[in-house]
Structure 1
Amino acid sequence: MKNKFVLNEDIREKTLLVIDENGNKLGEMSKQEALELARQHSKDLVLFSSGDKPTAKIIDFGKFVYDQKKKSKENKKTQVQTKNKEIKVKPQIGLHDLMVRVDNAKKWLESGYRIRFVVLAYGRIGTKIDQIEEVYNKFISLLEDKAVVQSPLKKVSNVQYESFLIANKGKK
């Protein structure tokens, strides 16, 4: 945090637009005048923007850094992170194996995960798109009471097709 800001004597600009800690504009003044004013109030002169009109603020920098860290911690607490689980299948998958993956997907969807369904089609099987879509449609039909398709099946690479599913909030 301290590396992002230029403080006190490290400021290179000769004239600055100075703002006090309450947000009141004190006007343009030289760097030396601003530093003196900051020292009189036992505060720091912090450069917030440089460019056409360099702007500096007279604040207690230690308290400012503390408040910024506190705000970032609060933001992290309220942030919602999406959790993903991935199911990979091949177009030749058997019905029982697909059912096992459907059961896992149902558990994960109830726990709040988002499912990434991937069909891997290596070699010549990659040209048989009807088989790839058949596996995908079978998987979706087995999950239609629990999941909603967030993005349809699309080709990601030469061998990989993927789709995203989320929990169906309406029918629980």
Structure 2
Amino acid sequence: MAALFLKRLMLQTLKTESNCIARCFVQQVVRKTPPAQLFPIASAPRLSCLIHAKASSTVTDTQDERKKKKRNDTVFSNTGRKISERIIHVVDENGNDLGHMHRADVIRLLDERHLRLVLRNARVEPPEYQLMTGIQIHQERLRQREIEKARPKARPTLTKEVIFSSNIGQHDLNTKSKQIQQWIEKKHHVQITIKKGKNADEPENKMEEIVHQILQTMPGIATFASRPQAIKGGKAVMCVLRPLSKKEETAYREALETQQRDTLHKDSGSDRESDAWHQ
């Protein structure tokens, strides 16, 4: 019994000593290890996040600077004394060309005449500036605003579609022609698809004749965006009509006026010949 008790006591003593030795070894390792090397995995993502955030901030700042510079180039405003170029081309308030001048001389001239400096053309070398009064700058802004309002705004082109058979009656064809003309006057494109009728005696070019008949109802208004072409193995014809451009409208009016003048001259010449014949 005493031997068993001594054996257990020895085992307990050895176990306690082992735990103490292990605890002391871990404490020595922790003290000698630098803090930056304890958690290398956790610090790496934090560094990458900082790099990414800095890069994103740089890209955003560059884009903002470009937008701001572009906005300042398009605005008609007083430059003041902030002249970035040493030599500039100057025009005075009366439109007289003063030639190339040093920016110090330009600033001195602004103070003497109580004028303001406006950038006129930054795409030439050296850039062109003009001396202006406050009233002139105000009037020029109003003029540019009116020009901007009068400028037509680009709108997306809409395409309408009409599909019917070549057996269509004349009344229905006139109705569709009027609808197509209304769309053309609203600056829309119109896609026309004419299917071949079931009549065996129908001419082969009847579908194209219908297309040209529709176009003839809109002289000086519409023309072909794409000419008639056979589709579905010749079972249908498709084309697209569009409104005339400003240039085409002007050319059409001039041709019409020339034709009317020629007709008048021809009629007056015929009248003179008939008068001479009667005499």
TM-score interval w.r.t. the shorter chain?
A: 0.5 to 0.7
- Residue in structure 2 matched with residue 163 of structure 1 by the alignment: 241
Q: Given the two structures, how large is their TM-score scaled by the length of structure 1?
A: 0.59
Give the number of the structure whose residues are more often strand, by fraction: 1
Q: Give the greater-gyration-radius structure (CA).
A: 2
Does residue 9 in structure 1 map to residue 81 in structure 2? yes
Does residue 60 in structure 1 map to residue 133 in structure 2? yes
Give the number of the structure whose residues are more often helix, by fraction: 2
Q: Which has the higher relative contact order, 1 or 2, with Cα contacts under 8 A spaced 6 or more apart? A: 1
CA offsets, 1:62-86, max 9 Å, x none? Answer: 633533433652686698xxxx997
**Residue among 19, 29, 40 paired with 2:91:** 19
- For 2:133, give the aligned amino acid: D
Query: How much does 1:17 deviate?
Result: 2.3
Mean Cα deviation higher: 92-101 or 25-34: 92-101
Give distance in 2, aligned partners of 1:147 and 1:28: 56
- Residue in structure 2 matched with residue 30 of structure 1 by the alignment: 102
> Sequence identity of aligned pairs in percent?
16
Give distance in 1, aligned partners of 2:225 and 2:120: 47
Does residue 49 in structure 1 map to residue 121 in structure 2? yes
Q: Given the two structures, how large is their TM-score scaled by the length of structure 2?
A: 0.40
- Residue in structure 1 matched with residue 161 of structure 2 by the alignment: 88
Give distance in 2, aligned partners of 1:155 and 1:78: 31
Question: Any idea what SS the aligned residue of 1:147 has?
Answer: coil
Query: How much does 1:34 deviate?
Result: 0.3
Contact kept in structure 1, 2:215 and 2:222, CA below 8 Å: no
Query: How much does 1:58 deviate?
Result: 0.8
Q: How does 1:62-141 map to 2 (within 5 A)?
A: 63-70=136-143, 73=146, 88-92=161-165, 94-95=168-169, 96-104=171-179, 108=182, 116-120=189-193, 130=205, 132-140=207-215
Query: How much does 1:100 deviate?
Result: 1.4
Question: Any idea what SS the aligned residue of 1:8 has?
Answer: coil
Contact kept in structure 2, 1:19 and 1:56, CA below 8 Å: yes
- For 2:120, give the aligned amino acid: F
Cα 1:55/1:153, change in 2 over 3 Å: closer
- For 1:18, give the aligned amino acid: V
Corresponding pairs, count: 154
Query: How much does 1:43 deviate?
Result: 1.5
Contact kept in structure 2, 1:91 and 1:131, CA below 8 Å: no
- For 2:192, give the aligned amino acid: V
Query: How much does 1:44 deviate?
Result: 1.0
Across the aligned residues of Structure 1 and Structure 2, the Cα RMSD in angstroms comes to 4.5
Give distance in 1, aligned partners of 2:227 and 2:160: 16
Cα 1:21/1:153, change in 2 over 3 Å: closer
Contact kept in structure 2, 1:18 and 1:28, CA below 8 Å: yes
Give distance in 1, aligned partners of 2:238 and 2:178: 23
Query: How much does 1:13 deviate?
Result: 0.5
- Residue in structure 1 matched with residue 261 of structure 2 by the alignment: none
